[in-house]
Structure 1
Amino acid sequence: MARDTLHGIPPPPPRNSARTAAASPVAAGAGRAEAVLARLAEADPDPKAGFDRTDPFRLLVTVLLSAQSTGPTVSRIAEALFARVRDPAGMLDLGEARIAEIIRPVGLGPSKARNIVKLSATLISAFGGAVPRSSAEMRRLPGIGRKSAEVTANFAFHEPVIAVDTHVFRVSNRIPLAPGATVDAVANGLAMAVPERFKDGAHIWLFRHGRDTCTARKPACMRCPVADLCAWPGKEV
């Protein structure tokens, strides 16, 4: 499958992996979520290969930059920004105006620059300059919502939370795994439906599945590794 940037985070080095789609009976409810994640995990057993090297502060800022922007652009701009700074203190020294100038290509530059400065100041005053390890604490930071906090906590600290972006939201409602009308409803449903052993990698598996296979307009049902587990009425068979 394609290995482009994930929330603006540079992809890990390519690795060889055999994609398998072993047959299994159709599951329902929480059992379906377990069966789907087991199948995706079998095809991609090490979804976070290379991501453990990511600095938590850089990751947090990169995810903030990724709102309403494409991954490759965010990755390039994050690289330019962090070529100049390394930590929250450095970000404050760089200043809001200069940050806004550097990040302009990602869109919403002024508001994002303002939040980067504010969250940097909060990290210094409330957390000794370090990114807190829990998503609940991260959500206290300016400009950091639930998805940004959970992506960062999961990738940087392996907190067993499942961030819900547009891909995860679509897959969760379509198969369905944890149907819901809002991001919070889907995130809460996934937290209950997904077994603990799959929670660390669930966001990446579902993100990649939605991006590469279960796409919005033309889902590739004929090559989907979990097609037999999917109850979507529009499924191509």
Structure 2
Amino acid sequence: TDIVVVGIVLGPEAAALYAIPAKLFTLAFGLGSVGTNLLYPALAEHEGAGEDERQRRLLLAGLRGGTAAAVLLALPLLLIPDQLIKGWVGDGYGESSPVLVLLALVLLVHQPIYLVTQFLIARARQRAIARALVLAGVANVILSVILATTVGLWGVALSTLLSDVAVLLYVVPALVAPAASLPVGAFVRSALRPVVPAAVAALLVLVAVARLTEPDTLLELLPLGLGWLVACGVALWRFGFDASERATIGRQLRPPAAPVPEGL
């Protein structure tokens, strides 16, 4: 809907400028939500079996895992947007960089929303979360039009960010915490733990190395991206999770073993 609003309010040229960061956002969110999609069947299974404690542990581990995936994918969009856009489509798209920065922040906020939505559906609370998401969507469209006409292209991305922040601030204390019988602080701690090690890795790779080398082609960005994956991945796995959470996530992501045929 963002691109539609931009096209209607600001015209096709602005829509093309918005589409570049929007495509990167869509790709990053799709990659980051793979693990969350794999957790939903387990959340529903624990609900059906009445295993509330195991469901709570999986929810918190999934929140950390989702946040870890989000920071891994979002921090490059946040810290080197100009280099990513130039490497992908070339020069002349400077107005797209602020949009990409805001959409990177949207990715960080939207990932936990997506996970807790899966949890609420597993707990048969889909009506409440659907109502909140619909209201937020309507508010986002209205605010997008207002900000597009007042501040320009990046105002549409800002509207999406503000809408998602409002949803997160509402659904966690009002819907998710009561449904999970957990304090809000438990969600905050689980979501923030992966951020610190990822931020340290980002300072080394995406700030120091990227700004020293100034890669601006896909070929030059490739080694930087590989270095980021290794540095951030190691930091997240070692410091973003405790041992029990690493074991829980590993069990959920590991494919089920094939049954052994009888008689062998």
Same fold (TM over 0.5): no
Normalized against structure 2, the TM-score is what? 0.25
Tell which structure's C-alpha radius of gyration is larger. 2
Structure having greater relative contact order (Cα 8 Å, sep ≥ 6): 2
Normalized against structure 1, the TM-score is what? 0.27
Higher helix share: 2
